Amino acid sequence: MSDVEEEGQSAVPVEPPHIPVTTERALGALAMALICLISFANVLVRYVTDFSFAFTEEYSTFLMVFMTFVGAALASAGNSHIRITVIVNRLPPAGRIFCEMLSVVATTLMFSLVVYYGGLLTWFEFKWGETSPGLGYPRWIYTIWAPMISIVVILRAWGFVLRLLRAERKARAGGAAQ
């Protein structure tokens, strides 16, 4: 792969992640497979018997939110989040790094809010014994995952920045040695 990756990617060479992202990939794939199985079973049963499984909406909603947060962690680890690159691609390497740092700070701020408010929500649901409307499960078992995976997103984003800065430092050292 060249120093400049595909359009929309960082122009600074980046080392692969040191912590494998196989966990996020496996969890995302498992969530997606479960959504497909639950939805298919519900459609099949509804078609044959005119009866619908009550739990499918509750589980599918939880799995969709879970899969979204796991996908955000995966995108942060690989620096493949959504971006507008028309200006950033025209900047010198220092400007690109500044924009990457700004992006990580914004990501950290956003997901720190999710950690804080999601943690509060989870605590209040646990404290007051709130249950889900469909199955009557404690609601905190669904909401606890948002703050937990948000911490992973923050760590993955900062892990990428550290690899980016290390690669930039190596590039400068290599250029200075010539």
In-domain check, residue 1: no
Please give the Cα distance from 72 to 80 (Å, whole number): 9
CB 77 within 8 A of CB 24: yes
In-domain check, residue 57: yes
Q: What is the pTM of this model?
A: 0.79
Query: What pLDDT score was predicted for residue 178?
Result: 57
In-domain check, residue 67: yes
Identify the CA nearest to 12 among candidates 74, 98, 87.
Answer: 98
CB 70 within 8 A of CB 28: yes
* Domain tally, the chain: 1
In-domain check, residue 2: no
In-domain check, residue 12: no
For residue 107, the enclosing domain spans: 22-172
Please give the Cα distance from 169 to 178 (Å, whole number): 15
In-domain check, residue 38: yes
Query: What pLDDT score was predicted for residue 83?
Result: 78
Coil, strand or helix at 16? coil
In-domain check, residue 5: no
CB contact set of 21 (below 8 Å; sequence gap of 6+): 74, 77, 78
Could you say which residues of the chain have pLDDT below 70?
1-18, 175-178
Convert the pLDDT of each residue in 7-36 to its tens digit.
445 544 455 446 778 889 999 999 999 999
β-strand partners of 131:
138
Please give the Cα distance from 126 to 92 (Å, whole number): 50
Coil, strand or helix at 176? helix
Query: What pLDDT score was predicted for residue 6?
Result: 47
In-domain check, residue 17: no
Query: What pLDDT score was predicted for residue 5?
Result: 44
